[in-house]
Amino acid sequence: MCGIFGYVGAGANPEVLIEGIKRLEYRGYDSWGVCVACDDQLTMLRRVGRIGGVDAADLDLGGKGCLSGIAHTRWATHGAPTEANAHPHADCTGKIALIHNGIIENYGSLREKLRAQGHRFRSETDTEVIPHLIEELLKSEPSFDAAFQGALRLLVGAYGIAAMWAEDPGAIYVARHGSPIVLGLGKDRTLVASDPAPLVAHTREVIYLDDGELAILHCDGFETRTLEGASVNKRVQQIAFGLPDIERGGFPHFMLKEISEQPESIHNAYRGRIVRAEGTAKLGGVDEALLRKVQRCHIVACGTSWNAGLIGKYLLENLARVPTQVSYGAEFRYSHPVIEAGTLVIAISQSGETADTLAAVREAKIVGADTIGVCNVVGSTIARECGKGIYIHAGPEIGVASTKAFTSQLVVLSLLAVHLGRMRGLSLRAGLLYLDALERLPEQASQLLADRERIAEIARQYARCENFLYVGRLYEYPAALEGALKLKEISYIHAEGVQAAEMKHGPIALISPEVPTVVLAAQEEIRDKMVGNAHEIRARGGRIIAVTQEGDREMEGLAEHTIHIPKTLDPLVPVLGVIPLQLFAYSVAIERGCDVDKPRNLAKSVTVE
Ligand code: AGP
């Protein structure tokens, strides 16, 4: 899952390219590279590590008279992060430069064939076969365009590609199969990127390529075609966010900015969707008829979105009495699940580009299930492939560790559960109870954020621990999984989320003064059970950080530190309860000197299997 950026037309220069991939760095950040077509030649530069504060002026990339350029930021799949493996990759002549996001599965056999035809390879990557393939086909095809198309037809796997040819410096050739490609339309320039973030500084007008499509970009326009050569008319769409949304806005990190935006993002998730008179929700992107025939739900997702899906299961079963399963995207696509008639497959994905979740959607459609997407990124592939769904409106999420998207996913799943519930006997009074509680969440989240410094102080006292347990029950069990995931992702501490009653069946053996336990006990219904679990941990010398309701003195007495959350309905407790866990993980990571926005080995959206 790399970041691709390209620019052809007025203002093409190394600065614009560097700025472009800096805005994509959350997609992969172990190495980067640029290629510009200046003065009738291609000049390439590749580096290992972060782009960070690189200044294009320091780069020996020529500068005057650039017509076009491409740039790439990498998340290594084939070949370690080295200069040789960084993109762009070239052919033997150095006249073709190409950047790629995805995996070419048949690169091994293609490489052997090309080697036998005398091609010399400089890298260990799968990508490098593509420019050599084009070079080989150029010997027999009438044009670069035809050679480019011919090469694409020989590839097996996923790709988002942008290529340049020294003999046609005023054009960029792009193609999509499995990895996202967005075109940016300007008056005297045309751009390409893996997602809209780097385009918004230049234009709001974009076009999303679909699988099996390619485009040739020129300064004054573009043409789009299928791989078979048929012309394709594409709908121009508007980017819904602005530059300020993708700036840090004075915060030291995007993660902290996004945690702090939750009062607003939670509000945006239900804004205009609450119908008080009917005690239900209005979800414009999903038609009533489809919801009325739902017999069961099957949620597919990965990572943090999967944790939200688990809470979605409890919400849909408790509020709407709809039997609901939750599967990891990768398990769903290969486990041949039983999908009965009346199954609604709900794909939850912040980025809308996660390969395994996307593949699960495609599998669900093959077996005839209805599908809806619960996504954040407007126009993303999962949203478009589902065709129906609910946007969570959390705004751009740049920090690799998902925070505000999680709470907005929970709000939207609550609205869906209330809506389905009202269709299936949930009373008006009960519906209103949930809607009232939802509308109190933004203010309550603000109260929690005001406790940030105290939470940071607590976190600093545990920053040297190397193992953590997070325990919870019912709605707080997935929240415990999420708290542990946040700590793992950004501080590299081993942390495990455990269903509290399961502790006695094994994990309690880990309890010791060196392994602190975060105990989530803010739900009314199971509070006494959690107090029992806290006693078991204390009895074995365990240190407890408790997240509980205001005024819960008993839990406070059992814990070394207690974080209180405002009172809300049990199903909505994770929306508030996860915020101190996000702040705790953030502060521990800061204390350990970790790069919280770009944690090692991770990327914001996982577009490869
Ligand atoms: C969460 O902090 C991680 N970035 C990761 O687990 C993420 O949730 C997962 O990759 C799914 O991403 P998606 O929601 O964009 O599909």
Q: What is the pLDDT of residues 238-275, one digit of tens each?
A: 888 887 778 888 899 999 999 999 999 999 999 999 99
Determine the average pLDDT of the residues in 500-528.
97
Ligand 1: centre distance to CA 495 (Å): 17
CA distance 163 to 174: 6
Q: What is the mean pLDDT of residues 380-401?
A: 94
- Residue 544's DSSP bridge partners are 517
Residue 2 among the catalytic residues: yes
Specify the residue with its C-alpha closest to ligand 1, atom 16: 349
**In this structure, what token pair is assigned to residue 117?**
């035809």
Say if residues 576 and 583 touch (Cβ distance below 8 Å).
no
pLDDT tens per residue across span 447-458: 999 999 999 999
* DSSP letter for each residue of 477-540: HHHHHHHHHHHHHHH--EEEEEEGGGGGGTGGGG-BTTB-EEEEE--STTHHHHHHHHHHHHTT
DSSP class of residue 362 equals H
Q: Does the structure show a pLDDT above 80 at 1? A: no
Query: Which pLDDT score is estimated for 187?
Result: 86
396: CB partners within 8 A, 6+ apart:
197, 241, 245, 246
Q: Is residue 309's pLDDT more than 90?
A: yes
Per cent of the chain over pLDDT 90 is 88
pLDDT greater than 70 at residue 126: yes
Distance of CA 407 from the midpoint of ligand 1 (Å): 13
Write the DSSP assignment of 366-388 as a string of letters.
HTT-EEEEEESSTT-HHHHHH--
Residues with CB under 6 A from ligand 1: 302-305, 349-351, 354, 357, 400-402, 489, 605-606
Lowest mean pLDDT among 62-76, 209-223, 230-244, 462-476: 62-76
- Å from CA of 583 to ligand 1 middle: 18
297 is catalytic: no
The residue among 80, 71, 123 whose CA lies nearest residue 100 is: 71
Ligand 1 centre distance from Cα of residue 604 (Å): 7
CB atoms near residue 328 (< 10 Å): 17
Task: Residue 608: name the closest of 32, 226, 105 by CA.
Answer: 105
Between 431 and 61, the higher pLDDT residue: 431
Can you give the length of the chain in residues?
609
CA 258 to ligand 1 centroid distance, Å: 15
Closest-lying ligand 1 atom to the alpha carbon of residue 403: 2
Mean per-residue pLDDT, 464-490 = 98
Whole-Å CA distances, 192 to 37, 47, 51, 218, 582: 16, 21, 19, 11, 34
Q: At 435, is the pLDDT very low, low, confident or very high (cuts 50, 70, 90)?
A: very high
Give the Cα separation of 30 and 76 in Å (integer): 7
277 pLDDT band (50/70/90 cuts)? very high
pLDDT for 608:
83
Å from CA of 603 to ligand 1 middle: 9
Quote the radius of gyration of the chain (alpha carbons, Å). 25
What's the confidence (pLDDT) of residue 41?
A: 81
Task: Give the per-residue pLDDT at 77.
Answer: 87
Average of per-residue pLDDT across 345-362 = 96
**pLDDT over threshold 60, residue 62:** no
Predicted pLDDT of residue 593: 97
- The pLDDT of residue 298 is 98
Question: Residue 301 CA: which ligand 1 atom is closest?
Answer: 16
Cα–Cα dist 518/502, whole Å: 15
Q: Which residue blocks in 321-366 are alpha helix, DSSP H?
A: 329-334, 355-366
CA gap 366, 408 in Å, rounded? 29
Q: Token pair of 441, please?
A: 């969440």
Q: Which atom of ligand 1 is nearest to the CA of 400?
A: 4
Q: Look at residue 438 in the predicted model and tell me its pLDDT.
A: 98
pLDDT higher than threshold 70 for residue 61: no
Cα-to-centroid distance, 95 and ligand 1 (Å): 38
* Continuous H helices in 49-89: none
Q: Whose CA is nearest to atom 9 of ligand 1?
A: 303
Tell me the average pLDDT across 557-565: 97
Q: Would you say the pTM of this structure is higher than 0.85?
A: yes
Cα distances from 202 to residues 19, 241, 305, 324, in angstroms, run 11, 13, 31, 44
pLDDT at 65 over 70: no
Task: Please list, residue by residue across 505-541, b when 16 or more beta carbons sit within 10 angstroms of its beta carbon and e when fewer do.
Answer: eebbebbeeebbbbbbbbbeebbeebbebbeebbeee
Give the distance (Å) from ligand 1 centre to CA of residue 306.
8
Q: 517 has which bridge partners?
A: 469, 544
Q: Which atom of ligand 1 is nearest to the CA of 402?
A: 2
Residues of the chain above pLDDT 70, percent: 98
Task: Kindly state the average pLDDT of the residues 480-493.
Answer: 98
Residue 184 to residue 574: CA distance in whole angstroms: 38
Range 89-98 average pLDDT = 96
Per-residue burial over 44-76, b if 16 or more Cβ lie within 10 Å, else e, is bbbebebbeebebeebebebeebbbbbbbbbbb
Residue 323 in this model has a pLDDT that exceeds 70: yes
- What pLDDT is attached to residue 53? 72
Residue of 26, 29, 354 to test ligand 1 pocket, by largest number of atoms within 8 Å of CB = 354
What residues are paired with 345 via a beta bridge? 298, 371
Q: Could you report the per-residue pLDDT of 174-218, keeping only the tens digit for each?
A: 999 999 999 999 988 999 999 999 999 999 999 999 999 999 999
In this prediction, residue 51 carries a pLDDT of: 87
Please tell me which residue in 95, 313, 598, 604 is annotated as part of the active site: 604
User: Which of 304, 413, 601 most suits a substitution to test ligand 1, by most atoms within 8 Å of the C-beta?
Assistant: 304
- Return the structure tokens found at 238: 């508007």
Asked whether residue 63 carries a pLDDT value surpassing 60, the answer given is: no
Nearest residue by C-alpha to atom 6 in ligand 1: 303
Above 70 in pLDDT, residue 159?
A: yes
Per-residue confidence (pLDDT) for residue 103, from 0 to 100:
92
Catalytic site residue from 2, 66, 465, 594: 2
Average pLDDT value over all residues in the chain: 94
Q: What confidence score (pLDDT) does residue 33 get?
A: 96
User: Can you give the pLDDT at residue 54?
Assistant: 75
Tell me which residue has its CA closest to atom 7 in ligand 1: 303
* CA-401 nearest atom, ligand 1: 2
How many Å apart are CA 49 and CA 105, to the nearest integer? Answer: 26
DSSP per residue over 128-171, as a string? THHHHHHHHHHTTSSSHHHHHHHHHHT--EEEEEEEEETT-TT-
**Checking DSSP bridges between strand 517-521 and strand 494-499, what pairing results, if any?**
unpaired
Q: Which has more confidence, 137 or 27? A: 137
Instruction: Tell me how far the alpha carbon of residue 406 lies from the centroid of ligand 1, in angstroms.
Output: 9
Q: How far apart are CA 17 and CA 32, in angstroms?
A: 11
- Which atom of ligand 1 has the smallest separation from the CA of 377? 15
Neighbours of 288 (CB within 10 A): 11
Ligand 1 pocket, mutate which of 490, 581, 605 (most atoms under 8 A from CB): 605
Between 90-104, 227-241, 397-411, the lowest mean confidence (pLDDT) is in 227-241
Q: Sign of the C-alpha dihedral, residues 246, 247, 252, 258?
A: negative
Residue with CA at minimum distance from ligand 1 atom 4: 401
Taking a C-beta distance cutoff of 8 angstroms, is the pair 404, 262 a contact? yes
Which DSSP helix (H) or strand (E) runs through 289? helix 288-292
Mean pLDDT, rounded, for 152-181: 95
Of 191, 221, 214, residue with least CA distance to 204: 191
Ligand 1, residue 486: give the atom nearest the CA.
2
Q: Which amino acid is at 41?
A: Q
